[in-house]
Amino acid sequence: MEDDLIEGGLPGQPSGVMFKQYAGYITVDKSKGRSLFYYFAEAVHNPSSSPLILWLNGGPGCSSLGVGAMALDSPTLMSTSDYNTSGDMRTAQDTYIFLINWFKRYPHYKARDFYIMGESYSGFYIPELSDYIIKRNVQAHSSSKIQLQGIMIGNGIMNDVTDLRGLYDFVWSHALISDETHGGLIEHCKNSSSPQCDHFEERMGTEAGQIDFYNIYSPVCFPSSNSSRKLKRFGGYDPCEENYVYMYLNLPQVQEALHANRTKLPYTWEFCSSNLINSWKDSPTTMFPVYRRLIASGLRILLYSGDVDAVVPVSGTRYSIDALNLKVIEPWHPWSDDKEEVAGYRVAYDGLTFTTIRGAGHEVPRFQPRRALALLKTFLAAK
């Protein structure tokens, strides 16, 4: 544990940091040399009793280290990245082994309430991992059980059919594409790709023009040639200022402080790995069966959507939730983080809660950090 302590803070980090930081690798398969990298920040307030959060980003194959808004004065945060795997199932299995071994290194956290949170493709990662943990907890000795209490997923994919229908309806209803293109998408892209579907998806991109699908109202930044934006539709968000994060995390002194790149890889750290994206093998088409099992288990579930994201838009999440046929127990109503201006809208179902965040794009903490933090605190307080 102390070997992973970041002594004196990170290079360039402001002085007076009031929390301990740790970073390093946890082995998940010694025989094959597979490890997961983590960054871990203790809570500023009540670090001896605060809940533990695992943050997972999307992709697949994108790092969770390049984001940090949720770590500010939050409950304990841990994020994983810098890992080479090839599918959802192995990711769930290896992440479970990572957690078991991480708790061995940090045994005083073993009894803490544990939450898994993330965005985008983690709409698949997180339910799959949670389902796996619940199954393993049934078999595990009481001392080895992970105290999973809930999950929180933002603008997460759920089901291919409803996600795509939500995308097509969102860009049309926000006046980004023509009626004809919308009609063609609905007619030809119902269940699987086809030449006609490809044609209308290309028209969708042409008609929408140079806008940022991750936040349709944000100023456009033209990314550099190595942008992760080009890798996949559900890849990592890449605004201009993230170029500074890219440069920072590739500084030798920063990697040394993070105890990272211990094998001295000959290539640079990237937000998203094209090798992983191109080799991903077992991505499912729907999470509905997994969600039904999680709901039946009693796990607390919060789904939230930034309402100006066109990558995994709010409309797709609403269609997906509607397809689960859950009973409404608290009708649609506004919520606020300051008791005045509306921050978004919320509806509670028998089994999960859905919340929107007004003015937020694909990665909610990036565009609305205060509202994201208020949402997090409310969820942890079980309100």
CA 1 vs. chain centroid, Å, equals 26
Per-residue model confidence (pLDDT) at position 275: 62
Give catalytic residues, as residue numbers: 120, 309, 362
Q: How many CB atoms lie within 10 A of CB 92?
A: 21
Question: Rounded to an integer, what distance in angstroms lies between the CA atom of residue 317 and that of residue 352?
Answer: 12
67 versus 223: the higher-pLDDT residue is 223
Q: Could you tell me where the DSSP H helices lie in the chain? A: 88-105, 122-139, 160-173, 179-188, 195-208, 242-249, 252-257, 274-279, 288-297, 314-323, 364-367, 369-380
- The pLDDT score that the predictor gives to residue 87 is 66
Q: What is the pLDDT of residue 237?
A: 44
Per-residue pLDDT for 78 more than 70? no
Confidence at 59, pLDDT banded by 50, 70, 90: low
Question: What integer pLDDT is reported at residue 99 of this predicted model?
Answer: 94
User: What is d(CA 164, CA 313) in angstroms, rounded to the nearest whole number?
Assistant: 9
pLDDT of residue 74: 31
Residue 34, pLDDT score: 80
Q: Give me the percent of the chain exceeding a pLDDT of 90.
A: 54
Q: Residue 279: what pLDDT?
A: 57
pLDDT of residue 147: 95
User: Residue 142 CB: number of other CB atoms within 10 A?
Assistant: 6
**b/e 240-262 (16+ beta carbons within 10 angstroms → b):** eebeebbeebeeeebbebbbbbe
Share of residues in the chain with pLDDT > 70 (%): 84
How much is the pLDDT for 263? 75
- Assign a CATH topology to domain 2-159+285-380: Rossmann fold (3.40.50)
* pLDDT tens track for 10-48: 999 988 888 889 999 898 888 877 888 899 988 888 888
Domain segments of the chain as ranges? 2-159+285-380
Q: Evaluate if residue 110 carries a pLDDT over 70.
A: yes
Question: What integer best gives the mean pLDDT of the chain?
Answer: 85
Q: Whose CA is closest to 311, among 177, 156, 122?
A: 156
What is the mean predicted confidence (pLDDT) over 132-155? Answer: 94
Chain-centre distance for alpha carbon 229: 16
Query: Highest mean pLDDT range out of 17-21, 369-373, 379-383?
Result: 369-373
Tens of pLDDT, residues 216-268: 998 877 655 444 444 343 344 455 667 778 888 889 999 999 998 877 777 78
Q: What is the pLDDT of residues 295-336, one digit of tens each?
A: 999 999 999 999 999 999 999 999 999 999 999 999 999 999
> Cα(320)–Cα(123) distance, rounded to whole angstroms?
12
193: left (phi over 0), alpha (psi -120 to 50) or beta: beta
Q: How far apart are alpha carbons 228 and 225 in whole angstroms?
A: 9
| Count of other CB atoms within 10 angstroms of residue 335 | 17
Phi, psi of 23, rounded to the nearest 5 degrees: -155, 150
Quickly state the pLDDT bin for 191 (edges 50, 70, 90): confident
